[in-house]
């Protein structure tokens, strides 16, 4: 993954956080060296604890797992208003970073989801649909070795 090494993700997310004023930005990447597909939060900024390092997500589990599996962006303007609000612990990064308003987009490579970019606020309602749209514009179609895109809506 030479492309990944050349691109400074930490710097990139620091910049995103700075420019758009988020409380938290994180990137989850697939562990490619292993045969098993395991997602980890590799680069974060604005984090409250280092507990995120322990977390290894399976496909379909957690924010990253969900976005990874579906390849679709995910937006929660108010975490407490989510239908499964009581099961918020199923989104460990959201629970342990205390995010109240967040969104995530898939990062593609060779037409496969390889990573997930998460942004969030610790106050509810701050990441609106318009703000999320603006974020997607700001990121553009290229992010390091990855590109972002919208899957066709059926």
Which residues contact another protein (rule: CB under 8 A)? Answer: 35-37, 49, 51-62, 86, 89, 92, 96, 112
- Closest CB 56 distance from another protein, rounded Å: 4
Continuous segment of H or E residues that includes residue 94: helix 92-97
Query: Between residues 11 and 56, which has the closer beta carbon with respect to another protein?
Result: 56
User: 64: buried, middle or exposed (CB in 10 Å: 19+, 13-18, 0-12)?
Assistant: buried
Of 36 and 153, which has the nearer Cβ to another protein? 36
Sorted by sequence, the CB contacts under 8 Å of residue 124 that are 6+ apart come out as 77, 78, 79, 80, 81, 100, 101
- Which CB, 16 or 44, lies closer to another protein? 44
């Amino acid at each position: 993954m030479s492309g990944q090494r050349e691109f400074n993700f930490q710097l990139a997310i620091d910049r995103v956080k700075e420019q758009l004023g988020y409380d938290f930005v994180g990137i989850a990447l697939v562990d490619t060296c292993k045969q098993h597909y395991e997602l980890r939060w590799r680069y974060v900024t604005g984090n409250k604890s280092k507990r995120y390092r322990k977390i290894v997500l399976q496909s379909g589990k957690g924010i990253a797992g969900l976005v990874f599996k579906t390849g679709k962006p995910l937006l929660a303007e108010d975490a407490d208003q989510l239908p499964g609000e009581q099961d918020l612990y199923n989104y460990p990064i959201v629970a342990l970073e205390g995010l109240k308003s967040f969104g995530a987009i898939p990062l593609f490579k060779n037409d496969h989801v390889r990573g997930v970019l998460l942004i969030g606020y610790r106050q509810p309602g701050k990441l609106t649909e318009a703000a999320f749209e603006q974020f997607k514009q700001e990121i553009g179609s290229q992010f390091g070795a990855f590109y972002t895109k919208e899957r066709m809506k059926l």
